[in-house]
Chains A and B, each alone.
Chain A
Amino acid sequence: MSSEVNTDFLHDKRLDAIAADLLRPVGISKGFLIWMGFLTISLMGCIYAYYIQWDKGLIVTGLRDYVSWGMYIANFIFFVATSLVGMLISSVLGLIGFKWVKPIARIAEIIAVAFAAVAGLVIVSDMGRPERLPYVFMYGRIQSPILWDVTVVTTYMVLSALLYFIPLIPDLAISKGRMGHQPKWLQATYEFLSVNWNHSSYQYKILLKAVRILLILIIPTAFAIHTVTSWLLAVTLRPGWDSSIFGPYFLTGAFVAGSAAVVIMMYFVRTNYKLDKYLTVYHFDMMGKLLVLVSIVYLYFNINEFLVPAYKLKTADAIHLHELFVGEHAMLFWSVQLLGLILPIILLLFKFFRKPFPMLVISIVVLVAAWFKRYIIVVPTQENPFLPKQFVPHAWMVYQPTVIETAITMGTILLAVIIITILFKLFPVIPIWEMAEEECSGEKDKHQE
């Protein structure tokens, strides 16, 4: 982000065109209502599943004393992981000065806000006594990594929300008077949220300063949320979790999942909102290169995580790795590693596969694999404790997720999609003022088509 805003764009005719383009998808359309209706009804079903769990207890899940963390915790790690991309795109790439992230940054922040917000709910779905959640604040013990996680996830969510909202303010002000066809309440919301923005260069100066501070603050916070989340597993003594590289291993994996999520959203915005002028083939190409980069780094940590213990084969590690490589979980393990990591790396090296549609397909595979990767990290370790599992019902020996559990997990994903839909549909998803400023100050990236 440049250090100064040239406010000339406000009087440029090109602003009108850009604003018209980017405000076109905004509003309550029929499609939006149908989609939201579908999401809401599906969510109701999932909430009913949660009601059953609330009533009967966690017995309705496949969790038992040996595998006591399953789908919910895997899902929680997935949510935290995906939300990290907000930091990667806006902060790391933005601060370095890559111009191509400008139209993508807000999409990344929306993903960050939605996934970080729902992550908190996901963890509540795993609690045996959800009504005692306030105890974490009343009786919290600072020694417990759960306290660290609660603290940093909340901080990250607030910082991400600010990073979404503050750069949106000038857009809200620009939109005033350009959305006559919109419902009154939406216009009033814009009016209220634009906090008397009058486009003075002083305001822009403050805005840039605030955003810059947030962009810097969010880097350590984002590192902290996923490192601490990995520590929920890594601080235990169990083979498969007892690893000193879990922090960076999780962090790099998070960038893979998040980048894939951003690409999926970009494709959706480009085709559904007809914004291919703003999210060009060039942007997908760059995201493809980013995805290759983060995947290769993640591959490096995967090699470390599996090769080193596999070389030594300590008794407990050997049992765990055997289950992953050739045992019960081999199918899932190799699918995730090959389809979600190796294959994308190879394919995305070719320019053809970095075109929008191939990118979409690859990203969906990567994101699904990312979810199952967390499952593979969480579940098999618990199926092989140090001491033998004996004299319990057969169902207690292995983990088999139930329908109710799956429905509750689906519910959390639906909730994230609902938040994303609302933010996508009610506010401009590509920053108007930044696009206009770039266009008018003639700094348009050379590579852009």
Chain B
Amino acid sequence: MSNSNKDTNNNNPQSDQNRGNSRRAFFKNFGLIGAATAAGGAAIYSGFKYEESKPNHDFVKVLTSDNRLVEVPRDSIKDIKVDVNRLQLQGREGLKGHRFVMVIDLSKCRNARKCISACQGAHHLRPYEYHINTLVMQESPNTAPYYMPKPCQHCDNPPCVAVCPVDATFKRQDGIVLIDNERCIGCRFCIAACPYSARMFHWEEPLMSVADKGKPYNIELNVPQKKGTISKCLFSSDRLREGKLPYCVSACPNGVYYFGDENQDAVTNGTTKVTHRLSELIRENGGYHLMPELGTKPRVYYLPPKNRLFEFKDVKDKTLEDQKT
């Protein structure tokens, strides 16, 4: 072999015969080695398989999601790896067949601010970082003041989405406008474009940035929040995926919020859990949109503050410092 190898290396055009010989010898040797390797590999593999298939008697009790207590072998337990790509994909696609809407009954709101704290808790926000805020409104000096919860309006013609340079904020098929903080470059054009002041920016490290470090990013919850990016109301799309009502809707003690699906023409009150016809609710109560003249086509309806259930108490100084004292 070594001899014939040398011949080929010499690259002598006269040694055709030799070269043929060497090639034959090479293939012969190669075949032997190959066969030996294959046999050895097969032996190791079958051994490994045998070890693997041996019954393991070390069991662990596990509670399943449907509340059954079961036993599983310890070595077949696997950590759930949340696939961020899958979260991104389903988050950008949205829930098929739905068109989510919210109805806010202004006659019931008394500025309890439970919606706000529930929202801030879920999305790891500071007390002055709002996805939803309740405002003290008065149209003109002689009209009655009232409280108005103001989430993102999830416009069907969203000015924020139009101006985003990198597709970080987008409109889903179910009507929800989301923000991807893995994409956002922090230009804040969307804040400038939004007439409802519905967006917030992480000017500093987010409240729970240390605790949330390393968690897979869920675009439908926008957690972990990220410094230098936008955050906004998501209609709690993570809860909607589980078939639950949004955080703010469930947290309201006064029955202000209805949430549901335009396609089903049904909205459910977050406090009473009674489901109503959306069209009926709007028609009978004179439902309206906020600033419809701007052409943004909001997905949030308001019911006017008539026959108010609560006395209006004005908040004199509307800075946050005043609220704490």
Query: Using a CB–CB distance below 8 Å, which chain A residues touch chain B?
Result: 56-59, 61, 63-66, 68-69, 126-130, 132-133, 135-136, 138-141, 143-147, 232-233, 235-238, 241, 382, 385-394, 396-397
Contact = CB atoms under 8 A, between A and B. Distances in A.
B84 interface: no
A100 to B, nearest CB: 42
Contact of A237 (B184, B186, B294): B294
Given A144-B165, A146-B163, A387 B192 contact: no
Contact of B128 (A133, A141, A238, A393): A393
A146 B128 contact: no
A405 to B, nearest CB: 12
B197 A128 contact: no
5 contacts: A59-B204, A128-B227, A135-B185, A139-B166, A144-B189
B144 interface: no
Given A382-B192, A388-B137, A392-B319, A126 B187 contact: yes
A232 B189 contact: yes
A68 B192 contact: yes
A128 B167 contact: no
Given A145-B163, A233-B192, A237-B159, A390 B133 contact: yes
B191 A139 contact: no
A76 to B, nearest CB: 11
B274 interface: no
Interface in B138-170: 150, 159, 162-167
B183 A393 contact: no
A241 B195 CA distance: 12
A63 B203 contact: yes
B319 A69 contact: no
A128 B195 contact: no
Nearest to B192: A236
Given A133-B185, A393-B321, 13 more contacts: A68-B191, A132-B184, A135-B185, A138-B166, A139-B166, A140-B166, A147-B165, A232-B189, A237-B195, A385-B195, A386-B195, A394-B319, A394-B321
B136 A135 contact: no
Contacts of B45: none
Contacts of A391: 128, 130, 133-135, 318-320, 323
A238 B164 CA distance: 17
A59 B203 contact: yes
A136 B166 CA distance: 6
List the 8 closest A-B pairs by CB distance, nearest first.
Answer: A128-B186, A128-B228, A59-B204, A146-B165, A390-B318, A144-B165, A59-B203, A129-B186
Contact of B228 (A57, A69, A235, A389): A57
A401 to B, nearest CB: 14
B110 interface: no
B221 to A, nearest CB: 20
Contacts of A233: 192
A406 to B, nearest CB: 17
Nearest to A378: B192
Contacts of B159: 236-237
A132 B162 contact: no
A128 B184 contact: yes
B196 interface: yes
Nearest to B293: A237
Contact of B199 (A56, A65, A129, A130): A65
A393 B320 contact: yes
Given A128-B185, A132-B185, A387-B135, A237 B318 contact: no
A88 to B, nearest CB: 29
B250 interface: no
A143 B162 contact: yes
A58 B166 contact: no
B254 to A, nearest CB: 18
Q: Which of B128, B136, B294 is the most central at the interface, judged by chain A CB atoms within 10 Å of its CB? A: B128
A425 B251 CA distance: 68
B183 A135 contact: yes
Contacts of B201: 58, 65, 68, 128
B291 interface: yes
B83 interface: no
Nearest to B128: A392
Contacts of A236: 159, 163, 192-193, 195
B197 A387 contact: yes
A350 B130 CA distance: 57
Contact of B229 (A128, A382, A386, A397): A128
B71 interface: no
